Structure 1
Amino acid sequence: MDLIPAWFFELNPVIQALIGGLFTWGVTSLGAALVFFTRTVSNKLLDGMMGFAAGVMIAASVWSLIIPSIDMAEAQGIIPWLPAVIGFLLGGLFLRICDYYLPHLHIGLPRDAAEGVETKWKRTTLLVLAITLHNIPEGLAIGVLFGAASLGLDVAGGATVAAAIVLALGIGIQNFPEGVAISMPLRRDGVSVWKSFNYGQLSGIVEPISAVIGAAAVIFVQPMLPYALAFAAGAMIYVVIEELIPESQMHGNTDLATVGAMVGFCVMMVLDVALG
């Protein structure tokens, strides 16, 4: 972590979480900005990138969230696996409820395949809401880990500022293809360059907001930490299985998407183990 200036480690954890969330939002915007240079991206590339994003999220859920949750619970004298199981399932339930009620449309599907409550919102709005929905747990994960680090729990599960930075870096990396995946199809459908870009980057704005909420919550309610980490992991895994993996294989590029997921998993695992 020598590349991170010393002053960053002295900041309030809520500010650290905000910066981490702004970084991941910025990388989403970079992905969306590709519409300024090209009108289309091949489905093979998009599917490989979506698979990569899925692999990163799976690895981040395990190394950055589930394992620290188990270690923290053990340090607190709780049955080690209990908070991880409860938090993980609650995270998935939270996303299921959001998925059921929030109007949204998964990438590559026609307007009449929209999920959630009935609405007359445009297809572009529904596409943005789909990405926004699964960015919430990513922001929460960053915030919760920065909040945990501020409580001096680094000996109980690897909740250090460095680990939180690595998590933000990994999520940022997988946000790039997400920005591409939403802006490019819009551009291909005839939406203007600026609108395609704005819709793509707008999907990531929820991350700094949810990161701040996550950091503030765990700082004030310390006993919930193991549950909060597992909650974020459960929500992210729900997104991976329900959305990213199916979308990455929608065009028949199953092998490419699978290889992308394995590479993404390894990249995040190496980042977390080597740097976190």
Structure 2
Amino acid sequence: MSIEEKNLAAPAAPAGRRSHQAAPRWLLGLGPLVLVTVLLGLFALFNGPGLAKLSEGVPPKEDVAVEDIRLSPGQIEITVRNEGPDPVSIAQVNISDYYAPFTQTRPTMAPLESTTVTASYHWVDGDPYEIALVTSVGGKITAAIDAAALSPEKDASFFALMALLGIYVGIIPVAMGMLWMPFVRRSSTAWVRALLGLTVGLLAFLAFDATLEAFELVSGHGSFGGPLVVILGALISYLILEGIDAWMRRHQSPASHGQAPLPPARLALLIATGIGMHNLGEGLAIGSAYAIGSLALGATLIVGFAIHNTTEGLAIVTPLAKETPGLGRLALLGLIAGAPAILGTLIGATVYQPTLAAFLLGLGAGAVGQVAIKLLPLLKDHAGRILSPLTVAGIITGIAIMFATGLLVQA
């Protein structure tokens, strides 16, 4: 008897019995979650049976981040947050080898809690200071003031100044860079490929620069994943932009599917979006640095930021070399790229958290990296080569420009 005949000869289970035995699919998926929840609840209720002796004699792990430093006449206020798993208490405040009397809003910080330490200290305007908060178990939380200055009051005028600062370093430089649009439109095909290579170099530099800056922010802090949050932010932004691109391709003609180059208008939008996410992280760093007085935002530094970020506008308009976009579209692209710097300065001046700043910088790095990859098909010459002498020269020039102008904003 064949297998088919055996299957036909086998008696079928009654329909009523089968419906009673088959559990709903949602119940099969929910069951393990309920069991895990019950198990974790019992584990927490009985305080980890049998594991109490593991922590005996082991010093607590302290991971504390400095979020804000404010200076007022005769006082220095330091806001810190416990990012570790164990409670932390501040026992002493040392300012440039002087143990200062202090008060604090919370004597013991539970995980994720913060406290503001107010130390009585007659600081001198313009002098640098080294601060060390000594915990009850002898650990040190260090911070530095490069040049002491009276902290600004966070009123309406302060936030207006932060918004103006975002305009100076975000919107205006991008708009200035977009003025190269007539030059790009009159360029030959070979020159456009060189300019696209220049754009790839600019974006690649921004991606690496943001990543290194983010890693520096979380160096020495393993809480919230430490450097992992940077990689996570980069992956999230990269995958989101890839998903948006795939969704837009699906709603176009079949000829546009696959690895075909993106339409110029959409590519310009992706570049503006990626640069905008990068400028959000940059604005956050600027606003927080100004709020704690560690960055002297003078006219020279503003000029440095303007020169450094002007090239971002060129990167946006280069894919539109053969297009005739209206002023409204160009203005919208400029706002998408530059306006996030305003939001970043406002957030940074209001509340600063190193891990959050690193995550946002990671988002920007992933976004500009994704856009740089999308630009590569447009670099192909008549022989199908992406890395021709012309495009390689453009990439290297873009990296060199960003490196040189970046030296103007070192602070």
Conservation of the 8 A alpha-carbon contact between 1:88 and 1:233: no
Counterparts of 1:158-237 in structure 2 under 5 Å? 161=297, 166=304, 168-182=306-320, 184-187=321-324, 195-196=325-326, 198-223=328-353, 224-237=356-369
Offset at residue 177 of structure 1 (A): 4.5
Q: Name whichever structure is richer in helix by fraction.
A: 1
1:102-113 aligned at under 5 Å gives the runs: 112-113=255-256
Distance 2:204 2:171 in 1: 22
**Residue in 2 that maps onto 1:238:** 370
- Displacement of 1:272 after TM fit? 1.9
Aligned pair count reads 238
User: Is residue 139–residue 208 contact of structure 1 (8 Å, CA) maintained in 2?
Assistant: yes
Residues 99-133 of structure 1, C-alpha deviation per residue, up to 9 Å, x if partnerless?
Answer: 4236658xxx9995279xxxxxxx77645534443
1 or 2, which has the higher strand percentage?
A: 2
Distance 2:313 2:302 in 1: 16
Using a 3 Å threshold, how does the CA distance of structure 1 residues 85 and 146 change in structure 2: closer, same or farther? same
Instruction: Call closer, same or farther: CA 1:205–1:180 in 2, change over 3 Å.
Output: same
1:176 and 1:73 map into 2 onto residues whose CA distance is 32
Q: Tell me, in whole angstroms, the C-alpha distance in 2 between the residues paired with 1:169 and 1:83.
A: 32
Shift of the alpha carbon at 1:261? 0.9
Q: Which has the larger radius of gyration?
A: 2
Give 2:402's aligned residue.
268
Q: Letter of the 1:148 partner, please give it.
A: S
Q: Which residue of 1 aligns with 2:380?
A: 249
> Who is 1:100 aligned against?
243
Greater Cα shift, 13-22 or 161-170: 161-170
Residue 94 and residue 232 in structure 1: after superposition, are their counterparts in 2 closer, same or farther (change >3 A)?
A: same
1:184-241 C-alpha deviation (Å, 9 max, x unpaired): 3114xxxxxxx45554454222123222222233334411122222322222222212
Structure 1 gaps of 5+ residues are 1-9, 116-122, 188-194
Distance 2:370 2:267 in 1: 18
Separation (CA, whole Å) in 1 of partners of 2:186 and 2:257 = 24
Q: Is the 8 A contact 1:142 1:167 kept in 2?
A: no
Alignment of 1:116-195 (within 5 A): 126=266, 129-152=269-292, 154=294, 161=297, 166=304, 168-182=306-320, 184-187=321-324, 195=325
**Counterpart code for 1:147:** G
Question: Shift of the alpha carbon at 1:14?
Answer: 3.0
**CA distance in 2 between partners of 1:43 and 1:112 (Å):** 23
By relative contact order (CA 8 Å, sep 6+), the higher-ranking structure is: 1
Aligned to 2:216: 71
Once residues 196 and 293 of structure 2 are traced to their aligned partners in structure 1, the CA distance between those partners, rounded to angstroms, is: 33
| 1:146 aligned partner, one-letter code | I
CA distance in 2, matches of 1:69, 1:98: 20
Cα distance in 2, alignment partners of residues 148 and 142 from structure 1: 10
Distance 1:233 1:253 in 2: 23
> Does structure 2 retain, via aligned residues, the 8 Å contact 1:57–1:240?
yes
- Say which of 187, 191, 195 aligns to 1:45: 191
Could you tell me which amino acid in structure 2 is paired with residue 55 of structure 1? G
Q: 2:186, 2:254 → 1: CA distance?
A: 20
- SS of aligned partner of 1:78: coil
Change (3 A) 1:216 1:151: same
Distance 2:312 2:305 in 1: 11
TM-score by length of structure 2 reads 0.48
Structure 2 equivalent of residue 32 of structure 1: 181
Give the match's secondary structure for 2:361: helix
Q: Is the contact between residue 268 and residue 316 of structure 2 (CA under 8 Å) also seen in structure 1? A: no
CA contact 1:19–1:208 (8 Å) conserved in 2: no
Distance in 1 between residues matched to 2:405 and 2:304, nearest whole Å: 6
